[in-house]
Structure 1
Amino acid sequence: MTNFDAVQLSYDEPLASSLHTRLARVLGGTVKRLHGVRGMRRAYRLTAEMVDTETFFLADGDFAIDPEFPTATVEPLSDGVAMRVWQAVNPVNGLTYGYGGLKLIRRSALREMGQAVDVLAALPGRVEFCRQTAGVTRFNQTPFHAWRAGFRECAMLARGSEYGMTDVSAQERIAAWTASRDGEFASYSAAGARDGVDFAKVAARNPQHFEALNDPPWLYQHFTTLRGEQAVTG
């Protein structure tokens, strides 16, 4: 058991309940859950009101924590650090980085969060990226979820990372996403990555349009428009 509270933030992920149980088993104690809240920025801010500790673990609804994650050795955040992110293994393209990883985050930072499409990039304070891997991001649970992951991530990478990533690193990650071929529904992640790059070319300079990346109904409609027939026919 840790000295930190924990919250799973889920929206529509099919495996969220079982992954919540797994998270509670590994972290120990009670892991709270916020589910189905529309408005990503609002949902993140609400997690800050669910906890009793200033710093808490935050996991996405598709994050599968490693059963061997060393919970008891996790250090508190240093002064000036708003969030620590542990890496997650990507099941479709072989990448291992902060995408979908486990977070240790300050409640006060969430309450003071600014505006960014990649919502947590707008936290006041530094973000600490940990080289340790904490689990697997299991976003490839359906064709739509696999497509949505590639679409959102590559659209943001193509526009320019809000975490200060170099253009070279961003292009390397886009190339890996568009070449996705491992695991279930990998072809949908690859298609989503290509569609996300195309979307960024059109919408990157229109903040209101680009914000559609955080609108689940719009994302599903866009998926069905572009790939719906493919999803039905396989």
Structure 2
Amino acid sequence: MSLFDAVFLSYDEPMGNSLHARLQRTLGGTVKRLHGVHGMRRAYRLCAEVVDREQFFLADGDFAIDNGFDASAVEPLGEGVSMRVWQAVNPVNALSYGYGGLKLIRRSALREMGEAVDVLAALPGRIEFAPQTAGITRFNQSPFHAWKAGFRECAMLARGSDYGMADDDARKRVEAWMTSHEGEFAAYAAAGAREGVTFAREAAHETKEFDQLNDPAWLRGRFTTAHGDHAVSG
């Protein structure tokens, strides 16, 4: 049994129910679910209000945890650390890094979170990046979801990582996203990556434009304008 609470944060992911059940089986006990909250910053902040413990696991609605992940072996966050992020395997380009990964996070840090496009980058305190992989980020559940993942991530990488990632590392990841060719809907992830880089260049002098990356309605509208309504669900 884990020492930590757990929250599954979902919005409109087609596989949300099954991935929530998988997370619950693997972690043991009850995994609370927060679903359909509009606004990413608001959704993350609300996670702090549904848990009873200061430190808790947080999984996005497209995260498929490795069945062998041992929650009982996880050490609590150290002094001054607000979040630990495990790596996740990207199903369309084989990258493994913190994108979409499982998190161990402090409730108090979420309550004190500042403002950033990459919302959790605005947590107070230090962020740890675990070298281990904890699962797969299954964002490629539909053409739209695959496109959205590539668009948001590459727009933020092209803008400049809020986590202080080296430019060369960011460039290599963008290139991998733009050439995605594995798994379902990889072509949409690649298209999203290319369009996200273009968006970042266009919005370089209008920083408020980047807030649109956290607006689900704006993202869906941008996708349908470029790819048509028929491609939203596949």
TM over 0.5, yes or no? yes
Please state which band the TM-score falls in when normalised by the shorter chain: over 0.9
Q: What do the CA deviations read for 1:53-103 (whole angstroms, capped 9, x no partner)?
A: 000000000000000001110000010100000000000001000000000
Q: Where does 1:73-112 land on structure 2 (aligned, <5 Å)?
A: 73-112=73-112
**C-alpha separation in 2, matches of 1:229 and 1:45:** 32
How many residues align? The count is: 233
- The runs of at least 4 consecutive aligned structure 1 residues that moved more than 4 Å come to none
**C-alpha separation in 2, matches of 1:13 and 1:35:** 10
Q: What do the CA deviations read for 1:17-63 (whole angstroms, capped 9, x no partner)?
A: 11000000000000000000001101000000000000000000000
Q: How big is the shift at 1:127?
A: 0.5
Q: Would the alpha carbon gap of residues 160 and 3 (structure 1) be closer, same or farther in structure 2, given more than 3 Å must change? A: same
Instruction: Give aligned-pair identity as a percent.
Output: 72
Unaligned runs of 5+ in 1: none
Scaled by the length of structure 2, the TM-score of the pair is 0.98
Unaligned runs of 5+ in 2: none
SS at match of 2:110: helix
**C-alpha separation in 2, matches of 1:31 and 1:12:** 18
Q: How big is the shift at 1:205?
A: 2.6
Scaled by the length of structure 1, the TM-score of the pair is 0.98
Q: Where does 1:32-181 land on structure 2 (aligned, <5 Å)?
A: 32-181=32-181
Q: How big is the shift at 1:130?
A: 0.2
Q: Which residue of 1 aligns with 2:208?
A: 208
Q: Which residue of 2 aligns with 1:194?
A: 194
**C-alpha separation in 1, matches of 2:113 and 2:229:** 39
1:7 maps to 2:10:
no
Code of the aligned partner of 2:8: Q
Q: How big is the shift at 1:134?
A: 0.2
**C-alpha separation in 1, matches of 2:184 and 2:218:** 24
Code of the aligned partner of 1:34: L
Q: What do the CA deviations read for 1:106-156 (whole angstroms, capped 9, x no partner)?
A: 000000000000000000010000000000000000000000000000000
Q: What do the CA deviations read for 1:202-229 (whole angstroms, capped 9, x no partner)?
A: 1133122110000000000000111227
Which segment is superposed worse, 124-133 or 205-214? 205-214
